[in-house]
Amino acid sequence: MPEGPPTPPSRVADNAWARIRRDLTRPSRSQLLVAVVLLLFGFALTMQLSGGRDERYTNLRQDELVAMLDDVQAQARRLEGEINQLEGTRARLESGAESSAVARREALRRLDALELLGGTVPAQGPGIRVTITDPQGNLSPEILLNTVEELRDAGAEVMELDDRVRLVANSWFASVDGGLQADGVPLGDTIVLEAIGDPETLSEATRFRGGLVATIEGDRVGGTARVEKVDDLVIDAVVDPDEPRFARPA
């Protein structure tokens, strides 16, 4: 059977647009269902994105935001200094000139840093001393843990409690028989926390709204928190590292 003449392109386009107009003005049931599903999906996604925004900073005062910005800038400067130091060490090692001596000095420097972080040697340097009084016994392990984490975030390198407990990565706090313990050592109604780091940055980290001072002196605890900047702290408490039970050098 002979085929008819081909449909002109212009007529094909007109037919396509006619079908689109018909679908828009008289959508089928399946098209309506798909449209509703897409609408609900878009609404849910929008709500999730808008509700997921970090609102921790919306209620802070200007001076508190400035203090937090100073903390971030101080951390950035520390990281830049470490990067420059590491790049300088790499350049000296790659140059071949006194590479063995440079490698030995770098290994000793890393050993010193690891011993300080691990709490196996005493430490000395500038920092802050925080004296916390808890006459009503409302201080909780969670508050102490949050305090330690906030100071670590602010750049605290070495911390100690009551000249007896060196706070390290695996330190823990608990409430035992109505009293607080840190790494199994009982704490009294007055707790002294010492932290080595930039005194200004660490001090500001304790004073922002919802931070250490506000929590201790608020209704939740009803105590006092005195923060002192110290030019030269001496932290003598050390820990005996546990022998790994399962891990071995690769």
Q: Token digits for 246?
A: 């399962």
- Tell me what the mean pLDDT of segment 93-110 comes to: 70
pLDDT at residue 122 above 90? Answer: yes
Q: Which two tokens stand for residue 220?
A: 């939740």
Determine the average pLDDT of the residues in 43-57: 57
**Taking 70 as the threshold, does the pLDDT of residue 127 lie above it?**
yes
Dihedral-angle region of residue 163 (phi above 0 means left; psi in -120 to 50 means alpha; beta otherwise): left
Return the pLDDT at 192.
97
Tell me what pLDDT residue 245 has: 82
**pLDDT surpassing 50 at residue 1:** no
| Alpha carbon distances (Å) from 12 to 6, 16, 22 | 10, 6, 15
Q: Return the percent helix, strand and coil in the chain, to nearest 5.
A: 50, 20, 35
| 79 exposure class (CB count in 10 Å sphere: 0-12, 13-18, 19+) | exposed
pTM exceeding the 0.75 threshold for the entire prediction:
no
Fill in the DSSP letter of residue 249: -
pLDDT digits (tens, 9 = 90+) for 77-95: 777 877 877 777 777 666 6
Dump pLDDT digits (tens) for 131-160: 999 999 999 999 999 999 999 988 899 999
Percent of the chain surpassing pLDDT 90: 40
Q: What is the pLDDT of residue 53?
A: 47
pLDDT tens for each residue of 173-209? 999 988 899 999 999 889 999 999 999 999 998 988 8
